[in-house]
Homo-oligomer: A and B are copies of this chain.
Amino acid sequence: MKKILLASTSTVYGKPYLSYLFDELEQLYKNIDEVLFIPYARPGGISYEDYTAKAKTAFNEINKKLVGIHEFDKPKEAIQQAQAYFVGGGNTFVLLNTLYYNRVLDLLKENINSGKPYLGTSAGTVIVGKTIMNTNDMPIILPPSFKAMGIIPFNINAHYLDPNPDSTHMGETRETRIKEYLTFNSIPVIGLREGSWLQVNEDAISLKGNLSARFFEKGKDPIEITPNGIIHPVKY
């Protein structure tokens, strides 16, 4: 029985880190004492220690202990013995590369598939999709592959942004970028707006939060998915 929460962002505007998700996290981590934090995405190049300290502050609010994977001698053992996981945001290339480098990507996937609760935010959400090809991040390191865990059957674009009709900027909109991706690739993409999250229970995937999400499939017009409904398995 999978228990997965995939948030577009860790932080919504004007609120403390993770606080908009506290009620959900109480449910996700029910009966869990200690959560393993994987700080590999290092937003802004922050150290593992500082990033873990930040995450601990939020987890204190829901009375859960958090330990950083870097506090263990062997990352594989940390993954194996953990009760539950949280993978925070930052740079998706750095995150995926470090998971490959430490040879823990498959092991993490197995443990999530076997039912250990998982929270992802931003980059930590993207790596649960099939590939990281819809990240917004800069490619500041070359991972051996863009293949991610593939626990859900599509890719995720986090922090999805609608086109700004007043913009004079000539760089591509997010929608244009995702459509460009679909001319070269066939895995569908969900654009998850800030404040939205996906909840995965076994193989049912639901969209949560107050906003709709934008779903892109090759050769079709994008559609808006309504919150609080099961979005998979449905259309494909």
Q: How far is the CB of A200 from chain B (nearest CB, A)?
A: 23
CA distance A161 to B9 in the complex (A): 22
Q: How far is the CB of A142 from chain B (nearest CB, A)?
A: 5
Instruction: Tell which of A28-36, A70-78, A133-141, A222-230 binds the partner.
Output: A133-141
Whether A168 touches B45, Cβ cut-off 8 Å, given contacts A138-B135, A139-B146, A178-B138, is: no
For chain A, the count of residues having a C-beta within 8 Å of the partner chain is 46
- A94: chain B residues at CB < 8 Å are 184
Copies of this chain, whole number: 2
Q: How far is the CB of A33 from chain B (nearest CB, A)?
A: 30
Establish whether residues A183 and B44, one from each chain, have CB atoms under 8 Å apart when the complex forms.
yes
Establish whether residues B138 and A168, one from each chain, have CB atoms under 8 Å apart when the complex forms.
no
Whether A13 touches B170, Cβ cut-off 8 Å, given contacts A44-B176, A44-B183, A45-B183, is: yes
A interface residue numbers (CB < 8 A to B): 9-14, 42-45, 90-91, 93-94, 132-142, 145-146, 158-159, 161, 168-172, 176-185, 194
Ranked 6 nearest A-B pairs via Cβ: A45-B183, A159-B171, A13-B168, A140-B181, A138-B177, A9-B170
Given A133-B140, A137-B177, A139-B139, list of 5 further CB < 8 A pairs?
A44-B180, A45-B184, A132-B139, A135-B139, A136-B172
